[in-house]
Structure 1
């Protein structure tokens, strides 16, 4: 564990200039440990009901899992502050490219002014699906995150997406008989707009609930619209809005930065045609809709979603790769024919 004084020093006495944001159970500050390592310090609001449960749930969930797409928990602090009040904090690796929410809202952009393109967004979606699939199906103890949303998805310096904020996490089914399950909070778990409908009816947290939250996040990632946007009034919602345009009129709901009619996209030296982008976007929105079916039993699993997303990426990149190879071969053929006195390219 790290001491309160260490964290106070690392964050400049929790200076507001180092405040990265506020979550459901506390504030997050940027800091630097004495050895110079950048960190993110999540200080829990101990006066809020459930803060201790959140602290214990996050520690328990992250202690039981290891994955490249999880924000790394470095250490924790349970101490007394300078006012002699209880102090709880979690220390994480610092994610230099902020949250996915910031990128969707346009608060962060690349140095050239561009937002996230279709490939970058698809890579983020796959990163998140990978770790959620791990939590649900590949970890020793099945973990449900309970609060998947763009603000809880962070990006490192390489734009690798990592999931954080396990304050609502629930350890569900242990692979060993002697390990009991834990629950971290009371009442409905999650954030407005991302909570699956069955939770409002009293159903317990489940992997299908995470799939729903992931699906809403996926739709938001490619439409740029939050589920709580003011355009969704009455009986309308993000998923119903997308469903009405799917698949024939998806241009009406896409984030403006993703409209295929803007022309070919260059990715790692390869050109991706508008047609390939359009077909991929239809597939991606289809995955989002499959994840957000009202009935938990009607939703696809996270492993199915991950498989579909990877296939979409393969098709997006390989389709134009084949075209690129064909053009290069044709070009070489033309050069050869010219050198040999042929007439093909004259």
Structure 2
């Protein structure tokens, strides 16, 4: 090719290489639509700074806003706000709910909003999260005929899901989680492209929805579905994740669920599933997590999930199973009696009030076996009520998920498959931000030594101030030389999702790469929220400067700590174990909400001449992730020990002495246990609440790791302790509202007002 011909063809080569959307110039009509959307949404922070010169197709994507254009049309619109998810106040007869300050104003009209929105006729992706939207989904949503992804989670949508949503033939993902939707779910079985459905944390039911067998992920957790598990699931050959926990599902578990060819995560917990599973059930080799806890199952676990495989995590406590320790199982009579009362509704009996009546009558009939049996069953149902309450949002809106796709590394960076806890646990924190080095230097005043807060195995800590005036902590981590850029980016993607109410919040990061440094190739600066009220230790000992913590506050704080640990273990795959859990690393905010600061991060770091890993599946001295998990439980037990006694633990001998005192006090009169507690909180606790907490603490401190409870069992017991404490009237007796909560349990969803936030 001669030189003149080359220069003639060169511009053509450039045109071929540059993506078409680089030339995208939004049409004037769609430009105006975006300004209308900004106004209707009442100018959320994610849409600030727009003006007549804004080129929307070239806005840099962020966690809170992403606009993608093709030609002169918008094809993807993602807006994430900062408004909390709804408070599940009881609905009135007209179906309205108490509109909180987190919703858009009364002037907002969802119908008007969709009239404007549907003019963006080329949309493939529509994601409107945490914006305070309220109202019923309009039928005109069906105008989005090219829509592939719909995400309107964490808003205040109520009423039924429009039946017309089943006409969106290109839809691949429907996420309407964490709203107030109720009624029957439309038939979605005709949507052959649909891969993901997430309708969790709503009020849907009682009929189980009809779904297509091409789905990859189904999440229907925490609704009011009252039926058996459909047998059609045996044809769902592409299903990887099924979470139908915290509903009212009854009847047997289809054994085919465990052997689905793609299944990896199965959560059936907190239902009323009954019967025995065949011992010869086969399991898919890729199955990583099974949760059967808090049901009415009998018999023994199938061989394939009860064989203690290191590749499979199984939860099965609080059934009537002969497998495992009977300490965490109900007696057979409990499940046998309760199962008689919870049969699937017939077509003539599928309304919620009638099913509730049937449950109450059934339990009454089932317990008329004798006076003693009735008392036993009553107490066990009461304990179960505490568990159901933990599944309700009275404890916390951002629930923790179980291990998800443990064997998959690709899905960790796919935001469509991030667990519910990872999506929802970050409420109250600003959007995650990637900082520049200049912003970090400005925040710390060029790393002024006066701002240095400490230095240790996890890097240097600096106090800093962002441009909006907020106070933060900046952690400096120097990475090992053999850390590849690709691996670093993947790990930072995972770290950016570690945002939970009970962890010190990650606000963003900055990566600095050194080309010729002899020892360090990268430095990562992590920007963390500043927690204002100091450590839990200071609140237990420094009474001159701190408020004295009474028992209700202490047990609520321990629930928060346990939730944070549960999230670290199960909210992300692989879990974060071997954390630096000690009372000095538990911080309290202005609302006395516990936040863990000593959790590990999946980054290998270099401090001085020593190498250290800040997290991931950290191995303990036995080289076992499982033992690392139980080590965290042990250290939680030490924290509980200090919270109960008010005494500092500085050595293993201190642990043994205090543990022995509590063990002896349990075997004596109640006053002996009261005498072993922190004197500053006496007179503020229900004895049964304290006793329950002491018992689980002693179990956490067992010498043998295998004898220590799971973090789920610890959380269950602490939540039960909160339930008892909440019903205590200060006279040593339980107040009448506990019987009301029990009635609420029998009738379906609890309406108790206790709170551990």
TM-score bracket for the superposition, by shorter chain length = 0.5 to 0.7
- The verdict on how the C-alpha distance between 1:16 and 1:106 changes in structure 2, with shifts beyond 3 A counting, is farther
**1:214-233 paired onto structure 2 within 5 Å:** 214-228=636-650, 232=653
Q: Which moved more, 1:298-307 or 1:130-139?
A: 130-139
CA contact (8 A) 1:58 1:166 kept: no
Residue 106 (structure 1) aligned to one of 539, 542, 550: 542
- The verdict on how the C-alpha distance between 1:226 and 1:22 changes in structure 2, with shifts beyond 3 A counting, is farther
Q: Unaligned stretches of 5+ in structure 1? A: 171-182, 191-198, 266-273, 327-346
CA contact (8 A) 1:135 1:142 kept: yes
Name 1:73's counterpart in structure 2: 506
Query: Could you tell me how far 1:59 is from its partner in structure 2?
Result: 4.6
- The verdict on how the C-alpha distance between 1:117 and 1:62 changes in structure 2, with shifts beyond 3 A counting, is farther
- The verdict on how the C-alpha distance between 1:236 and 1:296 changes in structure 2, with shifts beyond 3 A counting, is closer
Residue 293 (structure 1) aligned to one of 673, 688, 702: 702
Q: Do structure 1's residue 91 and structure 2's residue 527 form an aligned pair?
A: yes
Name 2:466's counterpart in structure 1: 33
CA contact (8 A) 2:631 2:705 kept: yes
| Secondary structure of 1:206 counterpart | helix
**1:229-240 paired onto structure 2 within 5 Å:** 232=653, 236-240=656-660
CA contact (8 A) 2:495 2:601 kept: no
Q: Do structure 1's residue 319 and structure 2's residue 732 form an aligned pair?
A: no
Distance 1:169 1:211 in 2: 20
Q: Do structure 1's residue 256 and structure 2's residue 679 form an aligned pair?
A: yes
Distance 1:43 1:101 in 2: 25
Q: Unaligned stretches of 5+ in structure 2? A: 1-433, 604-611, 738-757
Tell me which structure has the larger Cα radius of gyration. Answer: 2
Q: Which moved more, 1:298-307 or 1:152-161?
A: 152-161
- The verdict on how the C-alpha distance between 1:24 and 1:16 changes in structure 2, with shifts beyond 3 A counting, is same
| Secondary structure of 1:232 counterpart | helix
- What are the Cα deviations for residues 169-198 of structure 1, in whole angstroms up to 9, with x where unaligned? 69xxxxxxxxxxxx9369xx79xxxxxxxx
CA contact (8 A) 1:145 1:169 kept: no
Name 1:184's counterpart in structure 2: 613
- The verdict on how the C-alpha distance between 1:15 and 1:237 changes in structure 2, with shifts beyond 3 A counting, is farther
Distance 1:102 1:58 in 2: 34
Query: Could you tell me how far 1:19 is from its partner in structure 2?
Result: 4.2
- Indicate the RMSD between aligned Cα atoms, in angstroms: 4.0
Distance 2:602 2:549 in 1: 29
Residue 581 (structure 2) aligned to one of 121, 141, 148: 148
- The verdict on how the C-alpha distance between 1:220 and 1:61 changes in structure 2, with shifts beyond 3 A counting, is farther
- The verdict on how the C-alpha distance between 1:325 and 1:238 changes in structure 2, with shifts beyond 3 A counting, is closer
Name 2:302's counterpart in structure 1: none
Name 1:338's counterpart in structure 2: none
Distance 1:74 1:23 in 2: 21
- The verdict on how the C-alpha distance between 1:167 and 1:151 changes in structure 2, with shifts beyond 3 A counting, is same
Name 2:99's counterpart in structure 1: none
Which structure has the highest helix share of the two?
1
CA contact (8 A) 2:496 2:508 kept: no
**1:195-214 paired onto structure 2 within 5 Å:** 199-204=620-625, 205-214=627-636
Distance 2:666 2:646 in 1: 16
| Secondary structure of 1:303 counterpart | helix
Q: Which moved more, 1:127-136 or 1:237-246?
A: 237-246
Query: Could you tell me how far 1:124 is from its partner in structure 2?
Result: 0.9
Distance 1:40 1:4 in 2: 15
- What are the Cα deviations for residues 275-321 of structure 1, in whole angstroms up to 9, with x where unaligned? x2x43222212111111211222111111111111111111111218
Name 2:58's counterpart in structure 1: none
- The verdict on how the C-alpha distance between 1:305 and 1:169 changes in structure 2, with shifts beyond 3 A counting, is farther
CA contact (8 A) 2:581 2:635 kept: yes
Query: Could you tell me how far 1:39 is from its partner in structure 2?
Result: 1.0
CA contact (8 A) 1:146 1:169 kept: no
- The verdict on how the C-alpha distance between 1:239 and 1:324 changes in structure 2, with shifts beyond 3 A counting, is closer
Name 2:568's counterpart in structure 1: 135
- The verdict on how the C-alpha distance between 1:157 and 1:245 changes in structure 2, with shifts beyond 3 A counting, is same
Give the TM-score normalised by structure 2: 0.33
Distance 1:169 1:99 in 2: 25
- The verdict on how the C-alpha distance between 1:80 and 1:123 changes in structure 2, with shifts beyond 3 A counting, is same
CA contact (8 A) 1:29 1:40 kept: yes
Distance 1:218 1:6 in 2: 40
**1:266-345 paired onto structure 2 within 5 Å:** 276=686, 278-320=687-729
Distance 1:43 1:306 in 2: 33
- The verdict on how the C-alpha distance between 1:315 and 1:236 changes in structure 2, with shifts beyond 3 A counting, is closer
Q: Which moved more, 1:239-248 or 1:296-305?
A: 239-248
| Secondary structure of 1:90 counterpart | strand
- The verdict on how the C-alpha distance between 1:215 and 1:59 changes in structure 2, with shifts beyond 3 A counting, is farther
Distance 2:703 2:507 in 1: 38
Distance 1:169 1:101 in 2: 27
CA contact (8 A) 2:509 2:527 kept: yes
- The verdict on how the C-alpha distance between 1:58 and 1:201 changes in structure 2, with shifts beyond 3 A counting, is same
- The verdict on how the C-alpha distance between 1:323 and 1:303 changes in structure 2, with shifts beyond 3 A counting, is closer
Query: Could you tell me how far 1:60 is from its partner in structure 2?
Result: 6.6
Query: Could you tell me how far 1:324 is from its partner in structure 2?
Result: 6.6
- The verdict on how the C-alpha distance between 1:169 and 1:318 changes in structure 2, with shifts beyond 3 A counting, is farther
Distance 1:92 1:58 in 2: 17
Query: Could you tell me how far 1:96 is from its partner in structure 2?
Result: 1.1
Name 2:106's counterpart in structure 1: none
Name 1:243's counterpart in structure 2: 663
Q: Which moved more, 1:203-212 or 1:214-223?
A: 203-212
Distance 1:221 1:146 in 2: 19
Give the TM-score normalised by structure 1: 0.66
Distance 2:735 2:675 in 1: 30
Count the aligned residue pairs.
281
